């Protein structure tokens, strides 16, 4: 536990006293993993996906005799899956039935700024708007959507507002391998089954709950009955939790990241780190295993991923390999796609993350800063030119790890530098979020395709809310 005295959220909304929490065994575990609900396309026109997403409170009885109030899209936890093809036009009517302003941000998707749910374009309580965009070719991948109204994002997300978005390619080299969709989220419940507001530790380190859910279920069981091999799409939709995933004794192959497939499968991985907001596509091959194995995530001391050994492992779900019949699988394609280098660099950007401790009324206060400042909606922090390849140098001078996220585009990580040692990125991949260890510098190549305002921020949602966010103006 932190020994720091923390004044709380400063200008932010509520700061709760640390709640006394419901014990972890209060929620049932071991139920079969359920399929995710899909958003139905109401359009009859080929290539057009039209639907409505309504954000509204939903009361559920998780603990006998106690109501838990979630905030959901269309009454679904997680929000319904939007499944479309490259080239499709998406038209979503968003209805806000919350008591707060909200918006829908299409995390990782290439959509024009005015359609991207920016903090500048909130939908007021009781209001609605239409988001409309056309997905370009080549953007097949695993995305998600969540609210982005300034200072409300963290709360709206931890009360349940986050949904999934898959863009499919007409030709997918992994077609035929059954897919499994797994989204992780954190849930914190107090003794009365209520979702408490962020307390001081949440504001400092980002919120973690006593429950880590997969598809909104507590430690479900996956029956591996779809053959000997599955393609897992994994979303880290937690506010702050780092997931270093392992499937002990089985391992997996990495085939995709935030923005789609990588060029060649990376087989034989024993672990893979998925930081808040990131996605991964893994191939899990049962081989000769017929037992039960837990998918686990390493638990790190709060805020410290970098060079600290994990404390213990946390089980996310159990995989039951007993129904598997086939042992031998055809080899994975050697080449999944090609990712060209974004090309010669035309401009440079520098982003520095820092934390600042100050004293107020005899208590410590923490600020999370980007280039020495906290977020200001009226300020432009950086300017880019449309279609110009840029090298961004992102520096973490803070004590904690922070996951950096850039809106509007997928980028390529070029190299990472820590303690003077530069490590080139071992393979090319599309990312919209990259972790920065304490003391690390990460260099990425990025191009913006639309004029307008874009956000970049730490994706620990409390840090973003406290102002660890900047604005990029694309001209």
Site of interaction with ligand C2O (CB under 6 A)? 105, 107, 146, 148, 277, 405, 407, 455, 457, 459
Q: Is residue 453 near Cu ion by the rule CB under 5 A?
A: no
Per partner kind, with CB cut-offs from 5 to 8 A, the member of Cu ion, ligand C2O, none near residue 402 is: Cu ion
Q: H-helix or E-strand containing 454? A: strand 452-458
Q: What dihedral angle (degrees, nearest 10) is formed by the CA atoms of 433, 157, 273, 369?
A: 50
* Among 273, 214, 251, 283, CA closest to 431: 273
Q: Which is nearer to Cu ion, 95 or 458 (CB)?
A: 458
Per partner kind, with CB cut-offs from 5 to 8 A, the member of Cu ion, ligand C2O, none near residue 382 is: none
Size of the site for Cu ion (CB under 5 A): 6
Q: Which is nearer to Cu ion, 246 or 471 (CB)?
A: 471
* Among 82, 84, 86, CA closest to 137: 86
Q: What is the DSSP letter of 25?
A: G
Residue 181 burial (CB count, 10 A) = 20
**Which 3 state secondary structure label does DSSP give 403?**
strand
DSSP 111-148: --GGGTT-TTSPBPTT-EEEEEEEPPTT--EEEEEE--
Per partner kind, with CB cut-offs from 5 to 8 A, the member of Cu ion, ligand C2O, none near residue 218 is: none
How do strand 89-96 and strand 48-63 relate by DSSP bridges?
A: parallel
Contact 107, 277 (CB under 8 A): yes
Rounded Cα–Cα distance for residues 329 and 392 (Å) = 41
Per partner kind, with CB cut-offs from 5 to 8 A, the member of Cu ion, ligand C2O, none near residue 295 is: none
Q: How far is the CB of 435 from Cu ion (least distance, A)?
A: 10
> Which span sits near Cu ion by CB under 5 A: 91-99, 184-192, 334-342, 463-471?
463-471
Residues 396-415 that bind Cu ion (CB under 5 A): 402, 407
Q: How far is the CB of 469 from ligand C2O (least distance, A)?
A: 8
Per partner kind, with CB cut-offs from 5 to 8 A, the member of Cu ion, ligand C2O, none near residue 458 is: Cu ion
DSSP 365-399: EEEEEETTB---TT---EEE-TT--EEEEEEE-SS
Q: How far is the CB of 105 from Cu ion (least distance, A)?
A: 5
Q: Is residue 437 near Cu ion by the rule CB under 5 A?
A: no
Q: How far is the CB of 142 from ligand C2O (least distance, A)?
A: 13
Residue 176 burial (CB count, 10 A) = 10
Per partner kind, with CB cut-offs from 5 to 8 A, the member of Cu ion, ligand C2O, none near residue 457 is: ligand C2O
- Each residue 83-122 as x (binds Cu ion by CB under 5 A) or -, in order, gives ------------------------x---------------
Q: Is residue 431 near Cu ion by the rule CB under 5 A?
A: no
Q: Where are the beta strands (DSSP E) in 289-346?
A: 292-299, 312-320
How do strand 402-406 and strand 433-436 relate by DSSP bridges?
A: antiparallel
Q: Is residue 36 near Cu ion by the rule CB under 5 A?
A: no
List the one residue from 234, 463, 469, 470 that touches Cu ion (CB under 5 A). 463
Residue 449 vs residues 106, 142, 439, 453, 473: alpha-carbon distances, Å: 16, 20, 31, 12, 12
Q: How far is the CB of 16 from ligand C2O (least distance, A)?
A: 24
* Among 122, 34, 111, 25, CA closest to 78: 34
Q: Which is nearer to ligand C2O, 181 or 461 (CB)?
A: 461
Per partner kind, with CB cut-offs from 5 to 8 A, the member of ligand C2O, Cu ion, none near residue 463 is: Cu ion
Q: How far is the CB of 118 from ligand C2O (least distance, A)?
A: 9
Q: What angle do CA 265, 269, 272 make, to 5 degrees?
A: 100
Per partner kind, with CB cut-offs from 5 to 8 A, the member of Cu ion, ligand C2O, none near residue 36 is: none
Q: Which is nearer to Cu ion, 50 or 302 (CB)?
A: 302
Rounded Cα–Cα distance for residues 208 and 71 (Å) = 18
Q: How far is the CB of 418 from Cu ion (least distance, A)?
A: 17
Q: Is residue 458 near Cu ion by the rule CB under 5 A?
A: yes
Q: Which is nearer to Cu ion, 21 or 273 (CB)?
A: 273
Q: Which is nearer to ligand C2O, 180 or 279 (CB)?
A: 279
- Contacts to Cu ion by CB under 5 A: 107, 402, 407, 458, 460, 463
């Amino acid at each position: 536990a932190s020994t720091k005295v923390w004044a709380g959220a400063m200008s932010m909304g509520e700061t709760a006293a640390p709640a006394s929490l419901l014990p972890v065994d209060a929620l049932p575990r071991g139920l079969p993993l359920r399929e995710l609900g899909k958003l139905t396309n109401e359009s009859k026109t080929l290539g057009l996906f039209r639907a409505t997403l309504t954000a509204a409170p939903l009361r559920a009885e998780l603990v006998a005799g106690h109501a838990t109030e979630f905030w959901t899209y269309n009454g679904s936890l997680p929000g319904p899956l939007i499944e479309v093809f490259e080239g499709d036009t998406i038209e979503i009517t968003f209805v806000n039935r919350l008591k707060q302003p909200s918006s829908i941000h299409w995390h990782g998707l290439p959509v024009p700024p005015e359609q991207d749910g920016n903090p500048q374009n909130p939908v007021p309580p009781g209001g609605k708007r239409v988001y409309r965009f056309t997905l370009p070719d080549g953007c097949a991948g695993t995305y998600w959507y969540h609210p982005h109204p300034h200072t409300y994002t963290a709360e709206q997300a931890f009360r349940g507002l986050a949904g999934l978005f898959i863009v499919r390619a007409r030709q997918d080299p992994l077609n035929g391998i059954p897919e499994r969709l797994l989204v992780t989220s954190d849930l914190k419940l107090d003794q009365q089954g209520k979702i408490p507001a962020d307390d001081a530790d949440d504001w400092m380190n980002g919120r973690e709950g006593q429950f880590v859910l997969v598809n909104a279920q507590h430690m479900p069981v996956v029956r591996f009955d779809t053959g000997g091999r599955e393609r897992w799409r994994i979303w880290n939709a937690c506010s702050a939790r780092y997931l270093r995933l392992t499937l002990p004794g089985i391992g997996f192959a990495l085939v995709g990241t935030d923005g789609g497939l990588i060029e060649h499968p990376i087989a034989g991985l024993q672990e893979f780190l998925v930081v808040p907001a990131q996605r991964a596509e893994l191939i899990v091959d049962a081989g000769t295993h017929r037992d039960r194995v837990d998918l686990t995530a390493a638990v790190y001391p709060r805020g410290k991923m970098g060079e600290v050994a994990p404390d213990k492992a946390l089980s996310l779900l159990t995989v039951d390999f007993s129904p598997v019949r086939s042992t031998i699988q055809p080899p994975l394609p050697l080449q999944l796609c090609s990712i060209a280098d974004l090309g010669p660099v035309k401009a440079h950007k520098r982003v520095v993350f820092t934390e600042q401790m100050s004293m107020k009324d005899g208590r410590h206060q923490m600020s999370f800063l980007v280039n020495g400042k906290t977020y200001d909606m009226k300020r432009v922090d950086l300017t880019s030119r449309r279609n110009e390849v840029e090298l961004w140098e992102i520096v973490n001078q803070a004590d904690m790890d922070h996951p950096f996220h850039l809106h509007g585009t997928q980028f390529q990580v070029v190299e990472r530098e820590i303690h003077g040692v530069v490590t080139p990125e071992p393979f090319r991949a599309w990312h919209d979020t990259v972790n920065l260890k304490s003391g690390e510098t990460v260099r990425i190549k990025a191009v913006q395709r639309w004029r307008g305002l874009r956000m970049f921020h730490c994706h620990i949602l409390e840090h973003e809310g406290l102002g660890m966010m900047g604005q990029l103006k694309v001209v």
